[in-house]
Amino acid sequence: MTQQTKFLLDEGRMPTHWYNIAADLPQPLPAVLHPGTLQPIGPADLEPLFPMELILQEVSTQREIPIPEPVREVFKLWRPSPLIRARRLEKMLGTPAKIYYKYEGVSPAGSHKPNTAVPQAWYNAQAGVKKLTTETGAGQWGSSLAFAGSLFGIDVQVFQVRVSYDQKPYRRALMETYGARCVASPSNLTNSGRAILARDPDHPGSLGIAISEAVEVAATHDDTKYALGSVLNHVLLHQTIVGQEAIAQMEMAGDDPDVIIGCTGGGSNFSGIVLPFLGMQLRGGRRRRIVAVEPAACPSLTRGKYAYDFGDTAHLTPLTKMHTLGSTFTPPGFHAGGLRYHGMAPLVSHLKELGLIEATAYQQNACFEAGVMFARAEGIVPAPEANHAVKGAIVEALRCKAEDRPQTILFNLCGHGHFDMTAYSNYTAGKLLDQQYDEAELAMALSGLPSVPA
């Protein structure tokens, strides 16, 4: 008898709704505050940036939110995505654990990001929006929104973090192929960008700065709105299609995960796989360990402060309570560009504070070592960001081996690394540095947190 390795759902079993964990939280999320008045903001405050349907999803407490039919039609290009048992990796590690991964690299852009780019572009198109601005770190989000914009006739302008613009010309080429316009950030197109360049013409950029630029353009143009690829509640909501499929596929496999793992930059792919499982637990189901893995060079969940902070560097966004390294903190230029964000999704931070999830951090060489091992066992070359989840899964599998416990591990392989081969070459050549962030800069950035009365 052959043992099954790949678990596929047919199109008819694609989820019809997104799962909203706000309906099941033991305590609600802390309010989002207006930066001037420090009072909770209302839906109208967000209208310059987002269409109303997305704002309503942002604040909704309804458990299930229907996925529009035209969005599901697009999803059929790559969804349901496969769940695969990593039998060769298990063997290589000599672990009694079973390792499963949900593979999101099958999307056109090569990551989980189109799961939210497509609905965001669709809701904007329905609201008559002609242009979307956004930021991109590694280029994954920019290419996903560029793809989604091309489907619904929306013009997309992407502020790409300078280091990634220089290091990843092919991600830019992909965005331009889908019809988007790319600008290296910090740029001369915005007040926020010009202010940074005046102080440091060679600034490497950061997600916080690129967000400021994209928000500024959207806020100052009537026909333009802004789209964010992570962090916000509605983005995490859209990603829950991943975990819902995984639940059905784990059932097909006749297994149930004891540990669920995802990498965290802003928290969206992690939330996507984790929230539907966590929802079952909050409604009385069994408790599973849930582990977020972040880079040691940008450790918001493990080393950041849980406090109100801005989402961007120029302080144009509302204040949200989250684990933050400080909005002026510039993480070192390591290769998992998608994880170089100073903050964390408020929802993921809240779950951490409630003790519902764990967090851990690893250096990039350890993560690339894990990624190369995975590639040699399973054939898929993970994105540098996804290597953090692979590393987390391998650590758990080796723990199972040491403790002789045959547990079941599930992780989100959130993207492939085909656009990141320069990073792999550097790793192979021994040229990858385990970057330490600047402790003094972190202390300074944290001392500059806005003061919000309790």
Write out the residues near ligand PLP by the rule CB under 6 A: 111, 113, 138, 140-141, 230, 263-270, 338-339, 383, 385-386, 414-415
Taking the complex as a whole, the smallest distance from the CB of residue 447 to ligand PLP amounts, in Å, to 26
Between residues 265 and 326, which has the closer beta carbon with respect to ligand PLP?
265
- The span from the CA of 341 to the CA of 344, in Å, is 7
C-alpha angle with apex 260: 9 to 421, nearest 5 degrees? 80
Between residues 108 and 400, which has the closer beta carbon with respect to ligand PLP?
108
CA 230 to each of CA 113, 173, 267, 370, 421: distance values in angstroms, whole numbers, following the listed order: 8, 22, 7, 25, 24
Taking the complex as a whole, the smallest distance from the CB of residue 336 to ligand PLP amounts, in Å, to 7
Between residues 204 and 382, which has the closer beta carbon with respect to ligand PLP?
382
Taking the complex as a whole, the smallest distance from the CB of residue 76 to ligand PLP amounts, in Å, to 21
Between residues 9 and 263, which has the closer beta carbon with respect to ligand PLP?
263
Contacts of 144 by beta carbon, 8 Å cutoff, 6+ apart: 107, 109, 111, 113, 114, 116, 117, 229
CA–centroid distance for 61 within its chain: 22
Exposure of 438 by Cβ count < 10 A (0-12 exposed, 13-18 middle, 19+ buried)?
A: middle
- The span from the CA of 246 to the CA of 277, in Å, is 9
- The span from the CA of 395 to the CA of 370, in Å, is 9
Between residues 95 and 160, which has the closer beta carbon with respect to ligand PLP?
160
- The span from the CA of 405 to the CA of 398, in Å, is 10
Taking the complex as a whole, the smallest distance from the CB of residue 254 to ligand PLP amounts, in Å, to 29
Between residues 75 and 103, which has the closer beta carbon with respect to ligand PLP?
103
Q: How many CA atoms lie within 13 A of 421 on its CB side?
A: 5
Quickly tell me which residue has 């572009």 as its tokens.
Answer: 121
Between residues 133 and 140, which has the closer beta carbon with respect to ligand PLP?
140
Taking the complex as a whole, the smallest distance from the CB of residue 389 to ligand PLP amounts, in Å, to 8
Taking the complex as a whole, the smallest distance from the CB of residue 137 to ligand PLP amounts, in Å, to 7
> CB–CB of 262/293 below 8 Å?
yes
Between residues 75 and 411, which has the closer beta carbon with respect to ligand PLP?
411
Taking the complex as a whole, the smallest distance from the CB of residue 59 to ligand PLP amounts, in Å, to 20
Taking the complex as a whole, the smallest distance from the CB of residue 321 to ligand PLP amounts, in Å, to 18
First vs last Cα of the chain: how many Å apart? Answer: 62
Taking the complex as a whole, the smallest distance from the CB of residue 90 to ligand PLP amounts, in Å, to 23
Taking the complex as a whole, the smallest distance from the CB of residue 310 to ligand PLP amounts, in Å, to 18
Taking the complex as a whole, the smallest distance from the CB of residue 237 to ligand PLP amounts, in Å, to 13
Taking the complex as a whole, the smallest distance from the CB of residue 352 to ligand PLP amounts, in Å, to 14
Between residues 134 and 313, which has the closer beta carbon with respect to ligand PLP?
134
Between residues 113 and 131, which has the closer beta carbon with respect to ligand PLP?
113
Order across the sheet with 224-226: list the strands: 181-185, 155-161, 131-136, 224-226
Between residues 95 and 324, which has the closer beta carbon with respect to ligand PLP?
324
- The span from the CA of 436 to the CA of 438, in Å, is 6
The two tokens of residue 184 are 């290296």
Between residues 98 and 340, which has the closer beta carbon with respect to ligand PLP?
340
